[in-house]
A and B are shown apart, each in its own frame.
Chain A
Amino acid sequence: MNDNLNLDAAFSALADPTRRAILARLAKGEATVMELAAPFEMTQPAISQHLKVLEEAGLVVRRVQGTKRPRRLAKGGIEAMDQWLAMLRKALERSYDRLDGVLASMEKPKRGEER
């Protein structure tokens, strides 16, 4: 778990399609700003700004390699968010599947009493 992770910032960061695309790219492996900027019609400073948001949210980290600063996904950040995701979507789907079973086991009202 990344101590620097801020879930609010993380989800705000994910609200932007470019940043989601950057994360999807980084999921395939480490990349430099130049590599990340290539698929977008954006300047490198614009991409750098998006990366800054992702770094501050605890989703992306950088390392130093000579003059380059390749970025990669922050594993803890994604895992913490994933835990939250599990609560939302899977929780809904799994819970309602379970509720189907609970409802089936509850006493059924007589047909004539239904509104």
Chain B
Amino acid sequence: MSKLMLKTEGDTHLVVTRRFAAPPEAVYRAHTDPKLLQKWLLGPDGWTMPVCINEARPGGKIRYEWTNRKGDGFHVTGEYLELEPYSRIVHVERMHLPDPTPDNRVETRFDADGTGTLMTIRMTLPDAQTRAAMLATGMERGMEASYVRLEGLI
């Protein structure tokens, strides 16, 4: 069990790190096998991923569709650029809300760390403003808008 770490790098990068007890091959497989992805890439409790397309080859398509009990939903689309089993994946993705967000180029590394894995996700946003908008969501320092909400809106 290891806490998620988030940090900025330069003007347009975001870096996420997380350690896992399993070796890189297992963590890599859990990121590229649709049946496994549908078990964990679900976000907050209450959401499911009825559609999971993951063509783990260069040029392969990614499409994840999520829904919750209330019928809310959204989806992510993307394409694979590079895959080096079981150490590195590069893909682009965008979220549809329903308008697509700017493309996020994501490099995911799976490095052996003792008997486990250190996963490092390096996101590259198109420009500083897009990253600022992402950071404003509180990914780095604690969810500003949710903080606002907790301060008494609801």
List residues of chain A with CB under 8 Å of any chain B CB: 7-8, 11-15, 20, 23-24, 26-29, 73, 75, 78-79, 81-104, 106, 108-109, 111, 114-115
Give the number of chain B interface residues (Cβ < 8 Å).
50
List residues of chain B with CB under 8 Å of any chain A CB: 1, 4, 16, 18, 20-27, 29-30, 36, 39-45, 72, 74, 95, 97, 99, 101, 112, 115, 129, 132-139, 143-149, 151-154
Our count of residue pairs bridging A and B at CB distance below 8 angstroms stands at: 141
Closest Cβ–Cβ distance, residue B39 to chain A (whole Å): 5
Give the chain B neighbours of A96 by CB distance below 8 A. 4, 18, 20, 40
B148–A109 CB distance below 8 A: no
26 intermolecular pairs with C-beta atoms under 8 Å apart: A8-B99, A13-B136, A14-B144, A14-B145, A15-B129, A23-B144, A24-B144, A24-B151, A73-B148, A82-B145, A83-B72, A86-B44, A87-B44, A88-B134, A89-B143, A90-B44, A92-B16, A96-B20, A99-B40, A100-B1, A100-B20, A100-B21, A103-B20, A106-B30, A108-B22, A114-B115
Which residue in chain B gives the minimum CB-CB distance to A6? B99
Bound CA–CA A29/B151 (angstroms): 10
Which residue in chain B gives the minimum CB-CB distance to A103? B22
B20–A78 CB distance below 8 A: no
Closest Cβ–Cβ distance, residue B153 to chain A (whole Å): 5
Chain A interface mostly: helix
Given contacts A86-B43, A101-B40, contact A109 B23 (CB under 8 A): yes
A12–B27 CB distance below 8 A: no
Bound CA–CA A27/B147 (angstroms): 9
Contact of B153 among A75, A83, A106 (CB under 8 A): A75
Given contacts A89-B143, A93-B4, A94-B42, contact A14 B136 (CB under 8 A): yes
Give the chain A neighbours of B20 by CB distance below 8 A. 96, 99-100, 103
Contact of B144 among A8, A20, A98, A115 (CB under 8 A): A20
A88–B21 CB distance below 8 A: no
Contact of A78 among B1, B24, B148 (CB under 8 A): B148
Bound CA–CA A26/B148 (angstroms): 8
